[in-house]
Structure 1
Amino acid sequence: MHAHTETLLAYWETRRNGRPAPARADIVPRDLSNLLSWLFILERADADHHVFRLAGTGLCQLYRRELREQNFLDLWRGFDRHHVRALIESALAAPAPATATATAYALDGQTIEAELALLPLRGPSGQADRVLGLYQPLSALRGLQDRPVVRQKLTGLQPPAREIYTPVALRPLAAVSFELVANDR
């Protein structure tokens, strides 16, 4: 894990203060001044729309466009989009941090490696419906030769770990029944 990711996780943990997740209001940008360029905040509109409410200048420059009000999931394609969606949804449901690694591609095929941290935040309703994120490049940006990122490919996922970040009060799960079905019919 990159040192900046560890710094953000430690900050999130202190702001959590024993609660399942800190509130958005508990996050003070000046506390994270060294990370601001690569930080983002997403707001969950629904499972398929996690909209950028804030996107750091480094992240916007990487894509050569303003990301605010854009759907974070639109940065991903195919199965990667489904996996990232599931990762965000599980981080919010747990609530607990999740991370991913990806390769980012410029139009000419040049790449950089990146690590993403996704940390749940509570919105005004008290529910975890926001994500504090970090897009941490792991390789030199000069590898893109000043070209914008046009697509990303997941290379790893680290889903939320409940045993590490145990919520104060766990909600009981509804009873689930499974019907066994043979696949060889």
Structure 2
Amino acid sequence: MQHHTTQALVEYWNAIRGDRPAPRRSEIEPRDIKRLLPYVFILERQDHWSFRFRLAGTGLCNAYGTEFRRQNMLGLWQDECHTNMTHLLNDVTGSAAAGVLEYTAETGEGRQVSFEMVLLPLAQDNGALTRIIGAAVPLENPAWLGDQMLTRQWIDRIQLIDPEQMPKSTAAALAPRIARQVPPRIHAGIPSLAARRQRLNAERPYLRLIKSEVPNTGTVPGKVFES
């Protein structure tokens, strides 16, 4: 993981879950991660093909120029990227794995920006893994971001992480560092943001899939498949 926001969310989630496959949704305390919230979202798994946004942070919505609430995450991808995201989201909820991906989003005018996204399972009180908490953060902050809608996106790299191999910490120990996080600020330059809902098209699908056990900011050992 490259961005401090995604790293902090993964560490917080891992600390809260303890020795369980995933923490419960009710255990996530928003004030503990308030600095991360602009780019945090929660998905609800309705079936194999539907993972709807229950909420999405204002920073993420401003970056895209659209409101994500109630949209299907899988509707943001097409073709090969749609297939790969379907597998990834079902791996996260099916096997309590942590998903990390890098992707590129593009405006209608051809301007591009890179994002990093993490996907982490959340459990119901009965133990069922039906929710995902995640974050998607731009890896750079160009001046035009937020003034133009992002209309297409494609996956560059996917990593599936075994949480059992993650180093452990405590939420209390992480709190001071998370409180110091300063997420990028995106200017909401597009009017009527809540009314603008446009499907994104992955017109240039490219995937590099890495399965690993230990998160690493450098080269991760594992099996690599390229398309």
TM-score (norm 1): 0.84
1:145 positional shift: 6.9
* 1:112–1:138 CA distance, 2 compared to 1 (3 A): same
1:66 paired residue number: 67
* More displaced stretch, 57-66 vs 138-147: 138-147
2:80 paired residue number: 79
* 1:145–1:116 CA distance, 2 compared to 1 (3 A): closer
CA distance in 2, matches of 1:145, 1:46: 32
CA distance in 1, matches of 2:32, 2:142: 25
Number of residue pairs the alignment of both structures matches? 165
**What is the CA RMSD across the aligned residues, in angstroms?**
1.5
CA distance in 2, matches of 1:157, 1:34: 25
1:177 paired residue number: none
Matches within 5 A, 1:127-142: 127-142=128-143
SS at match of 2:21: coil
CA distance in 2, matches of 1:9, 1:162: 10
SS at match of 1:109: coil
* 1:55–1:141 CA distance, 2 compared to 1 (3 A): farther
* 1:145–1:7 CA distance, 2 compared to 1 (3 A): closer
* More displaced stretch, 140-149 vs 60-69: 140-149
Q: Does 1:57 align with 2:58?
A: yes
2:124 paired residue number: 123
2:100 paired residue number: 99
SS at match of 1:159: strand
1:162 positional shift: 5.9
Equivalent residues of 2:43, 2:53 under 8 A apart: yes
Q: Which runs of 5+ in 2 are unaligned?
A: 167-227
Equivalent residues of 2:45, 2:52 under 8 A apart: yes
1:155 positional shift: 0.3
Q: Which runs of 5+ in 1 are unaligned?
A: 166-185
* 1:30–1:163 CA distance, 2 compared to 1 (3 A): closer
1:77 positional shift: 1.2
CA distance in 1, matches of 2:71, 2:6: 23
SS at match of 1:74: helix
* CA shift digits 1:2-48 (9 cap, x unpaired): 22111111100111021110011111111111111100000000111
CA distance in 2, matches of 1:102, 1:163: 26
CA distance in 2, matches of 1:141, 1:70: 26
Q: Give the AA of the match of 2:136.
A: Y
CA distance in 1, matches of 2:15, 2:163: 17
* CA shift digits 1:119-173 (9 cap, x unpaired): 00012442111100100110114254720111111000002326526xxxxxxxx
1:22 paired residue number: 23
Matches within 5 A, 1:102-113: 102-113=103-114
CA distance in 1, matches of 2:119, 2:153: 16
CA distance in 1, matches of 2:145, 2:79: 23
* CA shift digits 1:58-87 (9 cap, x unpaired): 111122222111101111111101111111
**Sequence identity (%):** 38
Equivalent residues of 1:121, 1:132 under 8 A apart: yes
Q: Give the AA of the match of 1:26.
A: E
